[in-house]
A = this chain, B = another copy of it.
């Protein structure tokens, strides 16, 4: 019997020290990265995942396969740079690798769910890394358990492995069957002792791109990984596509004949790194267009424009350029905060201790401020920031949001609160304005957003999932569906 050689890193969690979570932003989802046919597979994965770090700060993992089929893996809690030592990276030999960064769940189950998940089944070894959510995972899981399957994680990703293991067909056919059974938004990297499978859901909800580096292929959730490792972008993986890589090369197949593109618009608005391109649209440029469009839709006379760092800076600069109102650093974020920071006590917070974001008094004092943010979720953060600006002396605070009202939960991998906690599903814009203590408030229109993402109307725009704004979901969803990310 041949067994895996793997190690598990540690978490270095200090009690009483939580993640920096006073802001009710939408949670980052996960990121995946894969290499096929490059001698530095593990190192490239390390740098590739590092570039995807913004997509998940809780855990990281890399699994490699040697030419003889032997698996090596290491997973741990924390940032990529915290999880891997040089020695651990050096142990991950082989020219094929898949890696994963995982977002931070509120009450998650830690290391046991860190990906890539590793399984042993009749066909050998299986490693799986996912970004996204399987809407019908609970139903499939119940069915598998009824047949005697054992689960080791709380991750829905595990169902794909069970579906493959239980199929009497050959591996690729079994994988296609399994991918057809699941519903949702997902990017999958599945590695066996001799193959790498790459798949995107039938709507292409989650981003997944293909590149080349030397003789090898690389795959990533975002193109920023390619820039960081010097790889060349080839194309986005298509909705419903299944790429099969093995010794014979790469084979393009499909598990779902129909392509119904519905790319997640929140990637453009908030999640993706500004230097990434999705469907060949640069994110920073799209955000700047959102800011310009916002200015066209809702100009307000003010002294300065400021953005909530980091994600709203591009839109704020766009707003400033369009209006001619100067862009200023009215808000600043401490770049050193992170998971291990000691949170100030309630008492100290009330006394004014801020650990993450502060207003810059000299910049906003006596000024009418346009504050650009990308979205309002519960409204509590917006209220806090508006008040921060007022305490620092802003005479007026006009809030401009570079997306429409976020009123519907996501079922495709974004960790959103329940519908009734979404302020936009409960309140009108005027009610929200009052709740966040702003002098005025405007949300970008749906048309404005679509135009900003893709001015030509030819690329991305052709198919965007805007269900969080429109309540129009591209797949069936029901009561039983898991809302949060299953990776």
Contact = CB atoms under 8 A, between A and B. Distances in A.
A353 interface: yes
Nearest to A273: B332
Interface in A86-115: 86-87, 89, 107, 109-112
B112 A8 contact: yes
Interface in A359-397: 359-363, 392
A480 to B, nearest CB: 10
Interface string A1-25: 1011111111110111100000000
Nearest to A84: B342
A111 to B, nearest CB: 4
A332 B275 contact: yes
Contacts of A150: 119-121, 126, 149-150, 161-162, 165
A63 to B, nearest CB: 12
B86 A17 contact: yes
A471 interface: no
A337 B50 CA distance: 8
A148 interface: yes
Interface string A267-278: 000000111010
Interface string A281-309: 01011001000000000000000000000
Interface string A32-64: 000000001001101100110110000000000
A120 B363 contact: no
A421 to B, nearest CB: 21
Nearest to A8: B111
Interface string A195-226: 00000000000000000011000000000100
A328 B354 CA distance: 30
A170 to B, nearest CB: 14
A273 to B, nearest CB: 7
A334 B228 contact: yes
Interface stretch (A75-83, A181-189, A403-411, A453-461): A75-83
A203 to B, nearest CB: 24
Contact of A227 (B166, B224, B354): B354
Contacts of A277: 362
A241 to B, nearest CB: 23
Nearest to A38: B351
A92 to B, nearest CB: 12
A288 B15 CA distance: 42
Contact of A120 (B4, B87, B121, B152): B152
Contacts of A327: 317, 321, 327
Contacts of A228: 334, 353-355, 358
B43 A344 contact: yes
A329 interface: yes
A143 B272 CA distance: 46
Interface in A384-440: 392
Contacts of A121: 145, 148-151
13 contacts: A4-B109, A54-B336, A86-B342, A122-B146, A148-B166, A150-B150, A213-B351, A228-B354, A274-B332, A274-B360, A310-B335, A317-B327, A321-B326
Given A118-B152, A275-B362, A275-B363, 16 more contacts: A8-B111, A16-B87, A43-B345, A47-B355, A53-B336, A81-B337, A122-B142, A122-B145, A149-B150, A224-B332, A224-B358, A228-B355, A229-B354, A310-B335, A317-B317, A317-B327
Interface of A: 1, 3-12, 14-17, 40, 43-44, 46-47, 50-51, 53-54, 76, 79-82, 84-87, 89, 107, 109-112, 118-122, 126, 138, 141-142, 145-152, 154, 161-162, 165-167, 213-214, 224, 227-231, 273-275, 277, 282, 284-285, 288, 310, 314, 317, 320-321, 326-329, 332, 334-338, 340-342, 344-345, 348, 351-355, 358-363, 392
